Copies of this chain bind each other. A is one copy, B any other.
Amino acid sequence: MAETNRMSQAEKATISLRGLIMSGEYPAGSRLPEVALSERIGISRTPLRQAMDRLVTEGLLVRAASSGCRVARFDLDDINDAIELRGVIEGMAARLAAERGAEETLMAKAEAVLDAIDVALEPVSALDFTAYVRLNAEFHEMLGQLAGSPVIRREVDRITQLPLASPSSFLSDQLMGPEFAASLIRAQDHHRGILAAIAAREGSRAEALAREHARLAREKFDYLQHADPKLTRRVPGLALVTAE
């Protein structure tokens, strides 16, 4: 959490509140009383309300008519649709990058990120998980830039940061198992394929690969569903997903 000094109260409130909700502190559907919250996180109501507005646009909260906010409720379909949506957006970014041609320096940087991921995955038995999460997020961010369009980039960033659609969602070293490690390697294969398709100006292939890549998140999520229910409390956001 870099430099909480230079952050505005509203930003701090956003992060605190998002964390509180993702951790399941406030169960899905529960109301969020403003005064109590502002006392709890030590920030006055004005920036807190800004934060709540922000989380409403993120979809984490819903604003009931003139009666404050409630924590949103998600079911399995919502998660899958959010993942599908991310795949479509990232697919568009990859396609446009291929069709229009991506800047060489950006491509080189993206390749470097992938090389670093290879390193992080190197000792399959004891891979560097936190490094992977960081680098993976970085690659997906690069994907938004490769098309060279501020509009596209902005949209990819937005989708990518949505709590339940993010490429980092439901990633947790809690579920480190052999099959999980294997899925990380498959993901890296996808990464390479997407970049290769962009370099070869194969727009359709780049788009299809990016969509397929997003679907890996589904597998991870399905795995979570059937794994130890105790994980619900340790994997951020999982507490908001109702069994349907």
| A interface with B by C-beta (< 8 Å) | 46, 49-50, 53-54, 57, 59, 77-78, 81-82, 84-85, 88-89, 92, 96, 149-152, 154-155
Kindly list chain B residues whose C-beta atoms are within 8 Å of the C-beta of A57.
57
Q: Which of B49, B50, B81 contacts A151 (CB 8 A)?
A: B81
Which residues of chain B are near A154, meaning CB under 8 Å? Answer: 59
Instruction: Out of B46, B50, B59, B151, name the residue touching A78 (CB < 8 Å).
Output: B151
> Whose C-beta in chain B lies nearest to the C-beta of A83?
B151
Residues in B with CB closer than 8 Å to A92 are: 84-85, 88
Bound together, the chains give a CA A155 to CA B58 distance in angstroms of: 11
CB-nearest residue of chain B to A89: B88
**7 A-B residue pairings within 8 Å (CB atoms):** A46-B46, A57-B57, A77-B149, A77-B151, A81-B150, A84-B96, A88-B92
Residues of the B chain whose Cβ atoms lie less than 8 Å from the Cβ of A46:
46
Interface centre among A53, A81, A85, A151 (most CB of B within 10 A): A151
A190 vs B150: C-alpha distance in the bound complex, in angstroms? 29
- Closest Cβ of chain B: how far from A180's Cβ, in Å? 26
Q: Is the CB of A85 within 8 A of B151?
A: yes
Give CA–CA (A195, B93) in the complex, Å: 27
* Nearest opposing residue in chain B for A164, CB measure: B151
Contacts of A54 on B, CB cut-off 8 Å?
53
Known contacts A77-B151, A85-B92, A85-B152; 6 additional CB pairs below 8 A are A59-B151, A81-B152, A84-B92, A84-B96, A85-B151, A85-B155
* CB < 8 Å neighbour of A150 from B49, B53, B78, B84: B78
Cα A151 to Cα B89 in complex, Å, equals 14
Determine the residue in chain B with the shortest Cβ distance to A54.
Answer: B53
Q: Are B81 and A149 in contact (CB under 8 A)?
A: yes
Q: How far is the CA of A89 from the CA of B158 in the complex (A)?
A: 14
